Amino acid sequence: MASKEKEKKTIKTIKIDVDKCNGCRACEVICSSFHASPKYSSNNPARSRIRIIREPLRDIYVPVYAGEYTMAECAGRDKYTIDGKQYDECSFCRASCPSREEFKEPDSGLPLKCDMCEGEDEPLCVKWCLVDALTLEEREEEVEEQEEIEDLEIGLESLADKYGMQTIMDTLARMSTDDKSK
């Protein structure tokens, strides 16, 4: 099998410097504002795709971005001690998960995910972070070309997630049999 072509891709990374965070939550405000529909028409930090874990008296300031949705919560919850401060493992987790309210629409409970503010020059949380706790780094990386996943496959995958692969296959088999008999 022939090896796939390598291609250059720009990787965008938001660098988070927790030591510089002043805990103001401007990132939460502008994120929820940008993602409102129509754009900027409302804001509500509870809808934000970035959250500051903020405990001033313990000097804990951790900006966390919303990542993938996960169906199940973790089996164990670990504790981290960094610089004498104790953090819950969830403090660093990006997932929208059943164990907590983070990164879900407050009304519908639908999961939220950071999209780096598609269409903007830079993510707006970075633009609004004047204290530079959030900065954007762009770098080029060579990656193997991947075949584009098609809509159909995405759809099937989520159906499989929900019903299990076997059920999907059984259903497909039955449908195709039904089709022939017509």
- Residues of this chain that bind other proteins (CB under 8 A): 22-26, 29-30, 33, 36, 38-47, 55-59, 61, 106, 127-131
Minimum gap (Å) between residue 25 Cβ and other proteins? 6
Minimum gap (Å) between residue 21 Cβ and other proteins? 9
Burial 126-137 (b: 16+ CB within 10 A, else e): bbbbeeebbebe
What is the token pair recorded at 25?
């939550």
Minimum gap (Å) between residue 76 Cβ and other proteins? 21
Q: Which is nearer to other proteins, 32 or 114 (CB)?
A: 32
Q: Which is nearer to other proteins, 106 or 164 (CB)?
A: 106
Name the packing angle between helices 151-163 and 165-181 (round to 10°). Answer: 110
What is the token pair recorded at 167?
């059920």
CB 57 within 8 A of CB 65: no
What is the token pair recorded at 108?
């519908």
Q: Which is nearer to other proteins, 86 or 171 (CB)?
A: 86
Q: Which is nearer to other proteins, 38 or 76 (CB)?
A: 38
Minimum gap (Å) between residue 38 Cβ and other proteins? 6
CB 50 within 8 A of CB 108: no
